[in-house]
Chain A
């Protein structure tokens, strides 16, 4: 589909399933006792949804986040991501899935230390074997898009928390993944930066991206359309959020629409 941009393809498919969990369970075997991390979760997330996963610590929300992120595997049941059952994949196949299908945003930013913002954003594309010239170009565009065009060569320790998280968002978008997975993305940020980051996710959602945010804060979850609550490894509620928090009106992402990566190109690069 030439001419299509960024998330327009996702937007076009809105309503399709992106994530489907079937009787998913995670059991931690600590030797002496077996701990049930997740208990028979059945869940479907469609393309273009903006979802919050909520719960206190120990509720199973982190376990779910790890499984959704293909960082961990379910003990029982199935997890279909973009139509692929990831439960049976090898570690390297999971790496490829994470690389192509998921954009991570972590609470502690998880940028590579002593490595410039540009190189950090390039990293997922490096592992996707995208040629150096192309990937530097896109990394620059992404950093400009999140408003860090002037800080390409800054090291993570030379930036504020909000800036670091914006680098992380640029990095998450690098391979144009269908799923953006954010784990407590505002946990280490002040209120102003938190609002900024959440409004960015909101903008991405509006552009057609599927965004899943794990949080324990209600005001963060309030930005989303759908809130899933977890407790003791079980999903206790799945509610629509009829009134997502209004955006301030300030545009945080610039030039994202109609300028960047095209899925066809990505496919061509991968061959």
Chain B
């Protein structure tokens, strides 16, 4: 009888195509927005995760908390010797350590001028952050120690500055630490291709990025705010952060609470938390639109029941039981909304993939979300279809037959 009801329901839906479509519209939009919002949330999380992997998952930075500590002393900043001391103390756990120096400066190469972001790194930086070389090589230990004016530029910046990716051997002039000098490109690495991620991390269109030996940026200054550490993969980051901070506090003669610790795990957890909250908030709005869609279905089913009073009368006269009529109308509204949900899922997925392709961003649509969305739509239909269906089922055959 269920199959029979589904057949009859499909027949009724087909017979009133336009009305069915309009009824489904609420559900289509509701489910569509749920899918889109959840997918945006999931995709954002993926982007953030990818970004943290790209930055190294074992990153940790410790600095004096200048907001908390009113009397910041000279000794609160790190010296090169201290960084070496920290490296020596945690030899078995630290892979990489530096002060994460960073300078922005105007660059001139022939007629082209650009703002560049110079990141000072050590020669073994590619061990902790995935940097893929396109041509040339990364910085060497000798270059770092010898403060050579050598840089590794990303392909995109090279293209903007020189008009070509093959910039190895090319030179430019810039001013760092008050000294204007000529710099030579020794390597070109892959740029950030993901348009969406570029937007998120606000990499300007007209700005370039490159890596230089940290020694160029720090000299002659020997006071560093940051101690940036990359630990080994298998290190328990929470425990390590604690011990590292304790050690730094001891050599600085400070309390542990006076330092601000920033770890990538913490950041990613925090951002994921924000994303989850964001998804939940928007999800509520989407749920409201589903509710509105459900009420739309109820409204149309009420109209449909009234309109088809005579049909109900005929069916009852021919032997339809109360349950038969109830089931028929219930199936109709459930199919209507499940079908609407399906259309919503398909069109939302299409839209998401189209936008994803445009932004060169992988789109995450979890199957469980799709299944839950469609089942939820059917449930909404059945729930809101219940009252009209019961109304239909309770019609007295004689009254229903008399209805004009």
Q: Does B124 contact A (CB under 8 A)?
A: no
The stretch from A42-50, A74-82, A88-96 touching chain B is: A88-96
Q: Does B319 contact A (CB under 8 A)?
A: yes
Closest-CB distance, B104 to chain A (whole angstroms): 72
The stretch from B49-57, B145-153, B283-291, B307-315 touching chain A is: B307-315
- In the complex formed, the residue of A with least CB distance to B310 is A110
Q: Do A110 and B317 touch (CB < 8 A)?
A: yes
Q: A98-110 CB contact bits vs B (8 Å, 1 = yes)?
A: 1110001010001
Q: Does A140 contact B (CB under 8 A)?
A: no
Rounded to whole angstroms, the CA-CA distance of A238 and B322 in the bound complex is 37
- Given contacts A66-B398, A110-B401, A115-B11, is CB(A95)–CB(B321) below 8 Å? yes
- In the complex formed, the residue of A with least CB distance to B1 is A129
Residues of A in contact, count (CB < 8 Å): 29
295-320 of chain B: CB within 8 A of chain A: 310-311, 313-320
Q: Does A4 contact B (CB under 8 A)?
A: no
The stretch from A13-21, A119-127, A212-220, A256-264 touching chain B is: A119-127
Closest-CB distance, B17 to chain A (whole angstroms): 11
Within the complex, which residue of B4, B11, B314, B322 is in contact with A91, where a contact is CB–CB below 8 Å?
B322
CB neighbours of B397 from chain A (8 A): 71, 98
Q: Do A127 and B317 touch (CB < 8 A)?
A: no
CB neighbours of B320 from chain A (8 A): 95, 127
Rounded to whole angstroms, the CA-CA distance of A119 and B397 in the bound complex is 20
Q: Contact residues of A with B, CB < 8 Å?
A: 66, 69, 71-72, 91-92, 95-96, 98-100, 104, 106, 110-115, 119, 123-124, 126-129, 132, 171, 175
212-237 of chain B: CB within 8 A of chain A: none
* A and B contact pairs by CB, cutoff 8 A, 29 listed: A66-B398, A69-B317, A71-B317, A71-B397, A71-B401, A72-B398, A91-B322, A92-B321, A92-B322, A92-B323, A95-B319, A96-B319, A96-B321, A98-B318, A99-B318, A99-B319, A104-B317, A106-B401, A112-B314, A112-B315, A113-B15, A113-B311, A114-B15, A115-B11, A115-B15, A124-B318, A127-B320, A128-B319, A132-B4
Q: Does B93 contact A (CB under 8 A)?
A: no
Closest-CB distance, B5 to chain A (whole angstroms): 10
**Apart from A111-B314, A113-B311: 4 A-B pairs, beta carbons within 8 A:** A92-B321, A98-B319, A99-B318, A175-B319
Residues of B in contact, count (CB < 8 Å): 21
Q: Do B401 and A127 touch (CB < 8 A)?
A: no
Closest-CB distance, A67 to chain B (whole angstroms): 10
- In the complex formed, the residue of A with least CB distance to B394 is A91
Q: B1-36 CB contact bits vs A (8 Å, 1 = yes)?
A: 100100000010001000000000000000000000
Q: Do B401 and A126 touch (CB < 8 A)?
A: no
Closest-CB distance, B139 to chain A (whole angstroms): 78
- In the complex formed, the residue of A with least CB distance to B319 is A99
- In the complex formed, the residue of B with least CB distance to A135 is B4
Rounded to whole angstroms, the CA-CA distance of A100 and B4 in the bound complex is 19
CB neighbours of A91 from chain B (8 A): 322
Q: Do B321 and A71 touch (CB < 8 A)?
A: no
Closest-CB distance, B289 to chain A (whole angstroms): 31
Q: Does B324 contact A (CB under 8 A)?
A: yes
With most chain A CB atoms within 10 A of its CB, the pick from B310, B319, B322 is B319
Q: Do A127 and B398 touch (CB < 8 A)?
A: no
- Given contacts A71-B397, A114-B15, A129-B1, is CB(A123)–CB(B318) below 8 Å? yes
Within the complex, which residue of B311, B324, B398 is in contact with A112, where a contact is CB–CB below 8 Å?
B311
Closest-CB distance, B259 to chain A (whole angstroms): 77
CB neighbours of B322 from chain A (8 A): 91-92, 95
Q: Do A104 and B15 touch (CB < 8 A)?
A: no
- In the complex formed, the residue of A with least CB distance to B311 is A112
With most chain A CB atoms within 10 A of its CB, the pick from B313, B324, B398 is B398
CB neighbours of B319 from chain A (8 A): 95-96, 98-100, 124, 127-128, 175
